[in-house]
Structure 1
Amino acid sequence: MKLAQTLRSLLPATAAFALLGCTTTVAPPAGVPAAIAEPQAAAAPAAASLDELIAAVDIPFETFTLDNGLQVVIHTDRKSPLVGVTTYYRVGSKHEPRGRTGFAHLFEHLMFGGSENVENFDIPLEAAGSTGTNGSTWYDRTNYVEVVPTGALDLALMMESDRMGYLLGAISQEKLDNQRMVVQNEKRQGDNNPYGLVDYLINDGLLPVGHPYRHSTIGSMADLSAASLEDVQTWFRDNYAPNNVVLALTGDIDVATARPMVERWFGELERGPAVVTRDAGPVTLAEPQYLEITDQVPLERIYQAWTGPGMEHPDAVPLQVGMAILGGLSSSRLDNAMVRGEELATSVSAYAQQQEQISFLQATVNVKQGVDTAAARALLESEIARMIASGPAQDEIDRAVTQFVSATIGSQERVGNFGGKGQILAEGLLYTGNPGHFRSELEQMAALTPEIVRSAMERWLSRPSYTLVVVPGDRTLDGGELGGWGDEHLNPAPEPDTGSDVQVTRTGPERALPEPEPVGELTFPQLERASLSNGIPVVLARRDAVPQLSIAMVFDAGSVVDPIGQAGVHQTMIDVLSEGTTTRSALDIAQQQEALGASLNAGAGVDRSVVSLTALTANLAPSLDLMADVVRNPAFAPDAVARVLQQREASIAQQLASPAGIAQRAFLPLIYGQNHPYAYASTSGNAAAVAALQASDLRAEHAEWMRPDLASITVVGDIAMDDLVAALEASFGDWPVPATPAPTKDLDIATPAPASRLVVVDRPNSPSSYLTLGRLTQFQGRPEGFEAVELANEVVGNGFLSRLNNDLRETKGWTYGIGSSIPDARGPRRLQVGTQVQADRTADSIRVILDQMHAFPATRPVDATELQRVTDGNIRNLPNRFETNGQVLGALLSNQLNGRDLRYQVGLPDIYRSISGDQINAAAASYLQPENLVIVVVGDRTVIDPQLETLGMEIEYLDADAL
């Protein structure tokens, strides 16, 4: 993966919109809904039928194939002047031979390093207004994605064809060595997380040595070290030919326009060998397998896993739905039995992770502290046995399918990128020969019966399982040794090859990059305003691309309202909202939103608390009724409060087990001081304060802060204002404003004088060190002219092409990524740099960061390429930023937080055009220098202390248990 690894799911997940300042819950793997169960309690409100919802899923397409075998699928969507370019190669980690695990993914990284006619893929594309190019590798395929303005399509096609046909002359030993280090740091970063070794062990337990799906996509350290230039050239010639490729062009394009462009750039490329795919079906274990390990984790966790059938097997779809009913949606069987029922677990999940030739079926239980593991495991297995014996109810199936269909409707907003229409069509064509396979899956879902699902679950889950239990303790396994073929003790990886005898020469003709055409004016929706009868202001941005609405009800509260020492109280109250009202149980709430195809979430950010709803337009009224009940009438029942307190405590423990979480909890009080609410508002909370909460405390918190005179409602989607106001009036209009004055927040609290500090938190056995560097800025809220500071920050640290990322990742290979930011805030804003680096380069990485910040602009002012990228390039990519309802909603909420005109984005082109290089340099000189930085390092002291001593700074130490 260049930036992220994605899984192939049955259906794409709904694109979540970012609510600035809101906390989020940990999501299950991609494509897995967030938690379906036996029907009981209150009946769901009337909803559109499944047939009606499926009819709203429409991605028409046309296909053609070039003489060289390149398959092309075209989908026309004229809503924005954008085209998604999605390229799928039929090669993934399952095609790797022994001794070369991780190579497909390593090669994907190399594909971004330039071709014979393109020095760097990101620079010209981002300059033309593209989203940042990205890619991912998984078992079955490697993909590359970008979304470009229509006038830059010719450029994107030339570049994709150049690396498909003319790559080898651009791959040097230096580039291979660099990207090898980047990938190894990506592996260290993943391994360094709590439960970071689990996937290796599960695959090893489920599949025999040599099975194509056994070894991890990221591979083993030894195999990555052994990859040679000869391997690179062989891999390219054997796999990266047009006859092994599906190209999807989706958006502002049609076949008549696309075909000559594709033929021009790809037609001259020659066929290569067809990718050879070995038999790789599911495996039935001879007997149940069990393994228990200790690791640096906050809670005991149980995994139970099986292999399942490939995606075209008749049982693939029933298993997707059955596993969702078991533990996928919030009303799931396991949720009801283990979280809400006997309360043996703080959270559960179950899903079918679908691949082309196989699937991984898995249930996971986070065991509540103090609960006997054997009891939790017995209840898990009894629920699985009950599902196998009696099957689901039809109502459970219908709710599960409704959630899948709703997710697919939401995915239609994106023409490309991960989860968009290009990915849906490309995967269908690559895996099944049918771009419309998604429709076949939905229709199969709609026809499911309880017996079809039950019998599929019986066939696959009654087989022997692999069970893994992870217990808190010391880490005894080395992730660097995991992820490989599995018989390294018999067949060790070959020694690294320097590639000195391999010739690197041009293989193709010289080709010029096409000039992108101008882009049109930004289309940002017009806004309509209204007020409900109780004064709640309403803003609507009407967009009709999909029959769905994104709604945010924002309260002027947030975690800053917690008194010092009481961090987490407000978040906990927000968490309890969906755990039952005076008329609905938690199960009612879960079942009803599932039946409606809705997604209801609540979160406490730093400065605001937000209840968000994604709803199908056809089901708006009952969805708002559910939302209003959750907001206005929470019951705060003692059992629900106790359950949420345990979950919040588990969340705090998880943050304290994560390197990034530890760093954040250490860093914020150092820069804001012990008495400022911002020192704690971005954390999971104070464990002791949360544990002491009573239902009466949360009820009082709700009464104080969740009130109509602190609320506003912002809506983006397919509805007329009159209809929206009528629906909102029915749900919220009669909510009375309390007689007591609205509470206020105090952010005007003294903060420490800026001072350089180096603070270390010991985390033994960490293969990487997590670095956080920063200080408070002089900014309060968002001052006039702040755009020059933002663009300067984009040059130095915000984005893939930033100087920090180019140096630490692309040049030195010491990190998987680094970023700098000045997060939005109503009060004092901070400058923050964060990265995870290989442990033996901890001090060196700090030096690089400080040097890069010092150099800008003193010895290295912004150059012409950087200036074009952050000004004209940003103007050109504005349509990409506001393609979806969620993106528009996020922009509106950001404008509200910052006190800007709600259509601020319309003026951005003129603002960016007016900013000069001198202004960017001046902003960097004034606001982005590294003086008085607080530096927090989370890592293994036995490795990092000798390095840090060379920095010449006094070292302070914090105990992770005291954070």
Structure 2
Amino acid sequence: MRSFISLCGAATLALAVAGCSQPGTGNVASASSTAPAAESSAPAPVADLVKRVDIPYEEFTLPNGLRVIVHTDRKAAIVAVSTWYDVGSKHEPDGKSGFAHLFEHLMFNGSENAPGDFFEPLKQVGATDFNGTTSFDRTNYFETVPRAALDRALFLESDRMGYLLGAIDQAVLDEQRGVVQNEKRQGDNRPYGLVYYKVLEELFPKGHPYGHTPIGSMADLDAASLDDVKNWFRGHYGPNNAVLVLAGDIDAKEARPLVEKYFGAIPSGPESVAPKVEIPQIAEAKTAVIKDRVAATLVLRTWVVPGLNDPEAVPLDVFASVLGGLASSRLDNVLVRQEKSAVQVSAGVQSMAQLGIFTVQAVVKPGADPEAVAKRLDEILADLIANGPTDDEVKRVATTNVSGRISGFESVGGFGGKAVALASGALYSNDPGFYKKQLQRTATITPDEVKAAAQKWLTRPPVTVMVVPGTRDAYVEATAPAKKPAAAGQEAPAPAKVQGTRGEMPGVADIKDLDFPDVTRAKLSNGIELVYANRSAVPVTRVSMSFDAGTAADPAGALGTQNLMLSLLEEGTATLDSNALAEARERLGASIGTGGSADRTNVWLSTPSPNLAGSLDLLADVVRNPAFAPGEVDRLRQTLLTQIAAEKTDPGGLAQRALPPLLYGAGSPYAKLAAGSGDPAAVAKLTRDDLIAFHQAWIRPDKLKIFVVSDLPMEQVKAALEKRFGGWTGTGAAGVKAFDVAAAQATPRIVLVDRPDSPQSVIVGGQLTALRAQQDLLPVLTANDVLGDDFLSRINMDLRENKHWSYGARGRFDRLENAVPYVINAPVQADKTGAAIASLQQVIGAFLTTEGLTEPEFDRTIAGSVRELTGNFETASAVLGAMQTNDLFGRPDDYYDTIAQRYRGFTRTGLDAALRGALDPKKFVWVVVGDAAKVRPQLDSLGLPVEVIAATPPAGAPAKPAAN
């Protein structure tokens, strides 16, 4: 766990975050790596790794100014379509904050020639990785589609660029404004959810382009008229302010006539003008303190620094990694490992086009003095500024960054694939290959250059925001805009239906069925089964060591044992302490992590294939020889206790703790899921011997299967694993999970967890079905795509799009090895809590009786499910996950090779019958986390018993831990 604060989206703090066709630089090598003559554990030089990060491209510009960049990647018959507009929150004048983000939503809501929600035609064609985001600098839209559906994707993108305004009326504006308000409520409702507002308020003078969040002011959005938003679009979304990237199974010769066909007739618009941006400097350091319902104090130091195009951007980024980004960072070593005064630290730069925000944070250990932690943070920072990083630290940063880029560039699109690298470089730096220059600069930078940049920018006075536990300070919440009643006889006429002018959307040709990678099975000499698949798109090897354990294996009286044990695996072995282990991983560019589900415990590795030998040495040491050093046990126990306390301040964490006893009953091992990360009283008492005993019982070869996806051949991978694990034997008796007591759901009821001052309620509902995980569940899963498990599902469309009470809601089958519950998750605005549950009951009940799948829903679901298969398994990580899922549920290794044919064999009545046989809305149990004073009166009319319980307050000083 690197952070208790998830900083993403508009309301949270991101740390890390013209005419000629011409070739460019920039593709990850796709040829299979060849086996070395002899295995070497030495890391490959970072310069050799940099050479493997390359995205060749061609580009051209249409007469209307649309810049088009094309990258060819023939590994799969898919194309990523990524459209980036040069408009973000920094372009918004006073009184119009949030307009760019609002338009991100509006541009998904249909256009003149593609009316209705854009997710509908995208789902029909099997689009994957489709979404949109808004930042300070830009707005982007992206989808990955089968090559045969590219015409339709380009039609849709061009229609919302050139033919949008006729489809926006007052009802659409009000609908999406309500959705945005609930997006804001959802972010605000989390612990530390208000910190970014305060950071920007203190860092920037009023009116500064970077001084407000992309989510914007709700007052500004409420005041926006239909004319206001239409004029905003006219001023910013022309083709001359956009970059279009096509990456995948296409080349520039094929792309140009298609782009000209769909975008060529769109006229240019006003040129986007970057606002004048100055890097503000405050006269003296200042500190702001805010109170929130949090488990631990957060100390946050921030500086404004140059943007990503400045020569000092890379040195500052490297400095941040050395200070608090690497696992071996200075702050980790001193504050977390040595002095144990903080449970989490980090540093990073949010690099934007015209400036950056350098951030250092520490989550203070409960009971420690925040002022003393802040002082030590400053001393560590000052020492690094004065003396600079070591050469080894700088090289480890470079290797880690390059390794991450190699893995990320396996995807052609999505949030961080190759299309993103090309588009961001073009839009921010006028250079699609800018990512390459950044990596090369990182790989060649010197410690003196890093020190000089830090001395220049980080000796300026900082802004500090401290978040301390307490009753949350008052703030401006998102409220529904007041409706102005129309005068008698003055009701506005219904808007006329827009007549399209471009004809029907292009059709989609037949798409070849998925060819899932061949899966090979073998055994090591001690019987450990190896499950392997080859993927050669990137020179990366991914290993998952899957142990038959999971939360169900946790000792009943010591919940949290597994989590504490797993955290210690990453913090030292018999030969390497925690810092030496972190440094060794970083030199290899390897990631080693742990995790677990209800049924399995995993230790995983991702590494550049040239460094497989050294990375497997570390993996074997971590798995087989954990030190469980007494000092580390004490430290990680405190970290886990703080994490548990944090879960009890988070509305989602509270809901997930309350639901399992209602779903499974106290006698089922799955009831242990109610402990979340653990029972604090039990964790406080755990000893080193307890952890060793758990490790010996569950992390052992007879509980293990190894899953691998690699560009290296099976023989080489097996030999490397045999060397490290073939002679491994277990010690003592293996653990046993007791599923002799069947799960037993509670009678229908509502449990209301009182969390005062919550602007939103988190609703979680569930039913324990009679389904078994090993039976054929494809019919019910496919039918549920329409009911609950898709953006276009009945549940989401009702609460988000129709009523705009929620930013998003879903219902899905949670497929455990020994139980299959159906679980609904629906965060809704507080004043609609009771109405939302009633609406969920009505939607589910109608679907299961008189209003089953419609013909259009059935056709859309079957076509989309077949067409999206290739995109779903574009990456090695997706293949690795599917291999493990198939194994867990007893499905054949070629399951996904046959699934398209199965989809085509379904009937609408058959899918209706499958879901109706599985669910009963009258059997649901419900958990609501919200402000009981506002919510309880809404629940009493639902006809179910209501039990109110208090949210557990954040833990103070934990119980005294047992001696080791």
Fold shared by both chains (TM-score > 0.5): yes
Using the TM superposition, give the Cα deviation of residue 105 of structure 1 relative to its aligned residue in structure 2, in angstroms: 0.4
Using the TM superposition, give the Cα deviation of residue 45 of structure 1 relative to its aligned residue in structure 2, in angstroms: 5.6
Compare 522-531 and 835-844 and name the one that shifted more: 522-531
Q: Are residues 1:686 and 2:679 paired? A: yes
Q: Alignment RMSD, CA only?
A: 2.1
CA distance in 2, matches of 1:506, 1:775: 44
Conserved in 1, the CA contact under 8 Å of 2:90 and 2:209?
yes
Using the TM superposition, give the Cα deviation of residue 27 of structure 1 relative to its aligned residue in structure 2, in angstroms: 12
Map Cα deviations across residues 27-61 of structure 1 (whole Å, 9 max, x no partner). 97456xxxxxxxxxxxx962001110000001000
Conserved in 1, the CA contact under 8 Å of 2:662 and 2:745?
no
1:634-713 to 2 correspondences below 5 Å: 634-681=626-673, 683-713=676-706
Using the TM superposition, give the Cα deviation of residue 693 of structure 1 relative to its aligned residue in structure 2, in angstroms: 0.6
Using the TM superposition, give the Cα deviation of residue 737 of structure 1 relative to its aligned residue in structure 2, in angstroms: 3.7
Using the TM superposition, give the Cα deviation of residue 753 of structure 1 relative to its aligned residue in structure 2, in angstroms: 4.8
User: In the alignment, what sits opposite 1:72?
Assistant: 68
Using the TM superposition, give the Cα deviation of residue 299 of structure 1 relative to its aligned residue in structure 2, in angstroms: 0.7
Q: Are residues 1:86 and 2:82 paired? A: yes
**Which ranges in structure 1 are unaligned for 5 or more consecutive residues?**
9-25, 32-43, 483-492
Conserved in 2, the CA contact under 8 Å of 1:294 and 1:473?
yes
User: In the alignment, what sits opposite 1:50?
Assistant: 46
> How many residues in Structure 1 have an aligned counterpart in Structure 2?
919
CA distance in 2, matches of 1:664, 1:45: 43
Conserved in 2, the CA contact under 8 Å of 1:184 and 1:224?
no
Map Cα deviations across residues 290-328 of structure 1 (whole Å, 9 max, x no partner). 011111111111000011101111110111111011001
Sort the Cα spacing of 1:398 and 1:550 in 2 relative to 1 into closer, same or farther, 3 A.
same
Residue in structure 2 matching 1:887, options 862, 878, 886: 878
Conserved in 1, the CA contact under 8 Å of 2:410 and 2:538?
yes
Using the TM superposition, give the Cα deviation of residue 423 of structure 1 relative to its aligned residue in structure 2, in angstroms: 0.7
CA distance in 2, matches of 1:503, 1:898: 52
1:111-130 to 2 correspondences below 5 Å: 111-119=107-115, 120-130=117-127
Using the TM superposition, give the Cα deviation of residue 639 of structure 1 relative to its aligned residue in structure 2, in angstroms: 0.5
Conserved in 1, the CA contact under 8 Å of 2:129 and 2:413?
no
User: In the alignment, what sits opposite 1:932?
Assistant: 923
Using the TM superposition, give the Cα deviation of residue 920 of structure 1 relative to its aligned residue in structure 2, in angstroms: 1.1
TM-score by length of 1: 0.93
Using the TM superposition, give the Cα deviation of residue 962 of structure 1 relative to its aligned residue in structure 2, in angstroms: 8.8
User: In the alignment, what sits opposite 2:141?
Assistant: 144
Sort the Cα spacing of 1:419 and 1:355 in 2 relative to 1 into closer, same or farther, 3 A.
same
TM-score by length of 2: 0.93
User: In the alignment, what sits opposite 2:709?
Assistant: 716
1:722-741 to 2 correspondences below 5 Å: 722-738=715-731, 740-741=732-733
Using the TM superposition, give the Cα deviation of residue 7 of structure 1 relative to its aligned residue in structure 2, in angstroms: 7.2
Conserved in 1, the CA contact under 8 Å of 2:769 and 2:821?
yes
Conserved in 2, the CA contact under 8 Å of 1:126 and 1:132?
no
1:296-315 to 2 correspondences below 5 Å: 296-315=293-312
CA distance in 1, matches of 2:194, 2:620: 42
1:492-511 to 2 correspondences below 5 Å: 506=498, 509-511=501-503
CA distance in 1, matches of 2:419, 2:655: 38
User: In the alignment, what sits opposite 2:24?
Assistant: none
Residue in structure 2 matching 1:840, options 821, 824, 831: 831
User: In the alignment, what sits opposite 2:418?
Assistant: 421
Conserved in 1, the CA contact under 8 Å of 2:14 and 2:350?
no
Residue in structure 1 matching 2:759, options 759, 764, 767: 767
Using the TM superposition, give the Cα deviation of residue 914 of structure 1 relative to its aligned residue in structure 2, in angstroms: 1.4
CA distance in 1, matches of 2:696, 2:646: 30
Corresponding residue SS for 2:136: coil
Corresponding residue SS for 1:666: helix
Corresponding residue SS for 2:821: strand
Residue in structure 2 matching 1:269, options 266, 269, 276: 266
Letter in 1 for 2:532: L
Corresponding residue SS for 1:552: strand
User: In the alignment, what sits opposite 1:573?
Assistant: 565
Q: Are residues 1:783 and 2:779 paired? A: no
1:201-280 to 2 correspondences below 5 Å: 201-280=198-277
Conserved in 2, the CA contact under 8 Å of 1:5 and 1:138?
no
Sort the Cα spacing of 1:611 and 1:399 in 2 relative to 1 into closer, same or farther, 3 A.
same
User: In the alignment, what sits opposite 1:337?
Assistant: 334
Using the TM superposition, give the Cα deviation of residue 133 of structure 1 relative to its aligned residue in structure 2, in angstroms: 2.9
Conserved in 2, the CA contact under 8 Å of 1:842 and 1:947?
yes
Identity of aligned residues (%): 45
Compare 265-274 and 498-507 and name the one that shifted more: 498-507
Conserved in 2, the CA contact under 8 Å of 1:6 and 1:138?
no
Corresponding residue SS for 2:143: strand
User: In the alignment, what sits opposite 1:902?
Assistant: 893
Q: Are residues 1:362 and 2:383 paired? A: no
Using the TM superposition, give the Cα deviation of residue 495 of structure 1 relative to its aligned residue in structure 2, in angstroms: 11
Sort the Cα spacing of 1:158 and 1:273 in 2 relative to 1 into closer, same or farther, 3 A.
same
CA distance in 1, matches of 2:499, 2:94: 29
Letter in 1 for 2:474: L
Sort the Cα spacing of 1:877 and 1:562 in 2 relative to 1 into closer, same or farther, 3 A.
same
Using the TM superposition, give the Cα deviation of residue 622 of structure 1 relative to its aligned residue in structure 2, in angstroms: 0.4
CA distance in 2, matches of 1:185, 1:544: 43
Corresponding residue SS for 1:145: strand
Corresponding residue SS for 1:275: coil
User: In the alignment, what sits opposite 1:133?
Assistant: 130
User: In the alignment, what sits opposite 2:3?
Assistant: none
Residue in structure 1 matching 2:192, options 178, 192, 195: 195
Using the TM superposition, give the Cα deviation of residue 874 of structure 1 relative to its aligned residue in structure 2, in angstroms: 0.4
Conserved in 1, the CA contact under 8 Å of 2:41 and 2:611?
no
Corresponding residue SS for 1:144: strand
User: In the alignment, what sits opposite 1:41?
Assistant: none
Corresponding residue SS for 1:349: strand
1:530-545 to 2 correspondences below 5 Å: 530-545=522-537
CA distance in 2, matches of 1:301, 1:475: 14
Map Cα deviations across residues 176-200 of structure 1 (whole Å, 9 max, x no partner). 1011010000000000000000000
Using the TM superposition, give the Cα deviation of residue 946 of structure 1 relative to its aligned residue in structure 2, in angstroms: 1.4
Corresponding residue SS for 2:607: strand
1:727-876 to 2 correspondences below 5 Å: 727-738=720-731, 740-784=732-776, 786-876=777-867
Letter in 1 for 2:353: E
Letter in 1 for 2:85: Y
Letter in 2 for 1:564: A
CA distance in 2, matches of 1:452, 1:961: 49
User: In the alignment, what sits opposite 2:35?
Assistant: none
Sort the Cα spacing of 1:810 and 1:5 in 2 relative to 1 into closer, same or farther, 3 A.
farther
Conserved in 2, the CA contact under 8 Å of 1:763 and 1:938?
yes
Using the TM superposition, give the Cα deviation of residue 952 of structure 1 relative to its aligned residue in structure 2, in angstroms: 2.6
Corresponding residue SS for 1:834: strand
Using the TM superposition, give the Cα deviation of residue 870 of structure 1 relative to its aligned residue in structure 2, in angstroms: 2.1
Letter in 2 for 1:237: R
User: In the alignment, what sits opposite 2:280?
Assistant: 283
Compare 952-961 and 518-527 and name the one that shifted more: 952-961
Corresponding residue SS for 1:535: coil
CA distance in 2, matches of 1:512, 1:750: 55
Residue in structure 1 matching 2:470, options 464, 469, 473: 473
Conserved in 1, the CA contact under 8 Å of 2:128 and 2:871?
yes
Residue in structure 1 matching 2:100, options 90, 98, 104: 104
CA distance in 1, matches of 2:875, 2:421: 17
User: In the alignment, what sits opposite 1:36?
Assistant: none
Conserved in 2, the CA contact under 8 Å of 1:122 and 1:132?
no
Conserved in 1, the CA contact under 8 Å of 2:308 and 2:355?
yes
CA distance in 2, matches of 1:635, 1:754: 43
Compare 915-924 and 361-370 and name the one that shifted more: 915-924
Corresponding residue SS for 2:64: coil
Residue in structure 2 matching 1:612, options 604, 613, 623: 604
Letter in 1 for 2:82: T
